Structure 1
Amino acid sequence: MKVAVLSRNPELYSTKRLIEAIEARGHTGVIIDHLKCDLVIESEGPAIYYNREKINDIDAVIPRIGASVTFYGTAVVRQFEMMGVFSTSYSQAIVRSRDKLRSLQILSGAGLPMPKTAFTNYSKEEKSLIDHVGGPPVIIKLLEGTQGLGVVLAETRKAAQSVIEAFHGLKARIIVQEFIKEAKASDLRIFVVDGKVVGAMKRTGVEGEFRSNLHRGGSAELVKLSRKEKSAAIKAANSLGLAVAGVDMLQSSRGPLILEVNSSPGLEGIEKATNIDIADEIIKFIEANQPKKRGVKSKLRTS
């Protein structure tokens, strides 16, 4: 089997580990920079050209699509799907997960617990927006932010109003969420593959930092999940249609609360914290879902 990792950087830990896992299981692994793919759409059927050569021998793809190139990256994944190539993540599922507001609406509709969240269309009623989530302190997030960037903790009403006014003045779309004090600058990253939890870690921010992201200097450790936490993580991934997902969750006094679901979760932090070969679990998932015959259109999820 020939498996392509769609990645812009062959030196990334996640990319290298996936190639290692593919080859360790006796398959052929290749790296394709999705931004260098040309998509040809015609009556004879969809085609992809890479480095001026037509791709016609790929059995499965593992999308590693960065948030800044979601539009073109998912177009490439969709083209592979239309060619009958198996993908570990549906293109539409990636799109859903990247839209923070839409994904939260889907998770809420599925009955999943989450911090109380408010959104408005540049309303000047900052006070009401803050009250909707229970008052200060509040978390203010850019809808397009990643890796903890564009996330602000406003500890007073005045500070929250000033931050909201500033973002709205820049025409930046934001959500406002309640602050879960008892989480103590920690969250859980739970890795789900094919409807099963295959690894979990607890991330804690550095002293004085409310964000727990490892990119912001946070630390990670192995954690044992409760049944509720496992169940919520699996349900969250399934609700967004993601077979491979990193589910971020807070531990609160009222139980687990879903923060977001990542469609291209990094492997480095969780593999080092848990000593679990997550990359191998992803390749086993591909093996269990052999690609369909080429030329047969896959049924894409469109909700």
Structure 2
Amino acid sequence: MKLAILSRNGKLYSTRRLVEAARQRGHSVRVLDPLRCYLRISSDGFDMHYKGKPIAGYGAVVPRIGASITRYGCAVLRQFELMGSYSPNSAAAIARARDKLRCHQVLAAEGIGLPVTVFGDNPDDTADLLAMLGPPPHVIKLNEGTQGAGVMLAEKASASRATIETLRGLYANFLVQEFIAEAKGADLRCFVVGDRVVAAMRRQAPKGDFRSNLHRGGSARPVRPSRAEVDTAVRAAGLLGLGVAGVDLIRSKRGPLVLEVNSSPGLEGIEQATGIDVAGAVVEHVVARAAGLQHKRNADLTDS
């Protein structure tokens, strides 16, 4: 099958592994920088060029769209979809997952466990907003932060108010959440592909920090998630429309709680921690789904 990987940098570990996994399985694959793709949109069809030449005929596209280019990257991915390419994560699903507030609303509406979260815009309401949440510590998160950046812990109510006032002065969008002390600075990254968790690791924050992200110095080891954790991760990804996702959970007294659902999860940390060929699982899932959709289209054409 002819595959495309949307990535700004073909040398990144995740991109390289997807290319290797695709070629090992006999597929043609090309890395495309989404910012070099440009689109023609008209009522008579959709076209795309890349670095001066037309591109078409890709059976599937695997998006590796960074947060900084979400809007344009999703427009490019949507164009591929309109041109008949399959993607495990649609443009709409990626945009939904990138907005932390929207993501939490979608998951909470379906009964997925989450840390209690509050959100408000007017500075006059800060005291009542924090009262709705409960006593500190509070976790304050930028709405579009990634890899632990823009996540702060306020241990006193006065610190929460000061941080909120500062962020409002910068016109930043943010959420405030309860701090789950029993997690002890650890979380679980469940890598969901289709309806399975193909790999999972437990990440531990370094001493003196509460963020367990590997980019922040956290450590990782393989873990076997419980049935409840698997079900929560798979449901969360499915509710957001993601066929490939990194679902971050914490273990709490009331069961697994979803911290975040990542639509472009990195492969390096989880492959190194678990020894599992996650890239291969992604490629096999994408190709199988794309082939199934193409077969259905062909059958529909025959029936008509």
TM, length-normalised to structure 1: 0.95
Q: Does 1:24 find its partner at 2:24?
A: yes
Q: What is the distance in 2 between the residues matched to 1:217 and 1:4?
A: 32
In the alignment, which residue of structure 1 is the partner of 2:4? 4
2:105 aligns to what SS in structure 1? helix
Q: Distance in 2 between matches of 1:241 and 1:102?
A: 13
Q: Which blocks of at least 5 consecutive residues in structure 2 are unaligned? A: 298-304
Report the alpha carbon displacement of residue 59 of structure 1 after superposing the two structures with TM.
1.4
On the 8 A contact 2:120/2:126 being kept in 1, the answer is no
Higher helix share: 2
Paired position in structure 2 for 1:175? 175
Alignment of 1:247-266 (within 5 A): 247-266=247-266
Partner secondary structure for residue 92 of structure 2: helix
The CA deviation string for residues 244-296 of structure 1, in whole angstroms up to 9 with x for no partner, is 00001111111100011000000000001111100000111122113555xx8
The 2-side partners of 1:122 and 1:275 are apart by 48
Which residue pairs with 1:158 in the alignment?
Answer: 158
Superposed CA deviations along residues 141-185 of structure 1, whole A, max 9, x for unmatched, are 111211111111000111111111111111111110000001111
Structure 1 unaligned blocks of 5 or more: 297-303
Identical pairs, percent? 52
> Shift of residue 124 of structure 1?
2.3
Measure the CA separation in 1 of the matches of 2:122 and 2:144. Answer: 16
Matches within 5 A, 1:75-224: 75-224=75-224
1:300 is matched with none
User: Which moved further from structure 2: 235-244 or 167-176?
Assistant: 167-176
1:217 maps to amino acid: G
CA distance in 1, matches of 2:82, 2:287: 20
**Structure 1 segments (4+ residues) deviating >3 Å:** none
Q: Do 1:122 and 1:173's aligned partners in 2 also have CA atoms closer than 8 Å?
A: no
Q: More relative contact order in 1 or in 2 (CA 8 Å, sep 6+)?
A: 1
CA contact (8 A) 2:123 2:165 kept: no
The aligned amino acid for 2:285 is: F
Equivalents in 2 of 1:30, 1:126: separation in Å? 49
| Matched ranges for 1:217-256 at <5 A | 217-256=217-256
Count of matched residue positions in the alignment of Structure 1 and Structure 2: 295
Q: Within 1, Cα distance between the matches of 2:51 and 2:164? A: 45
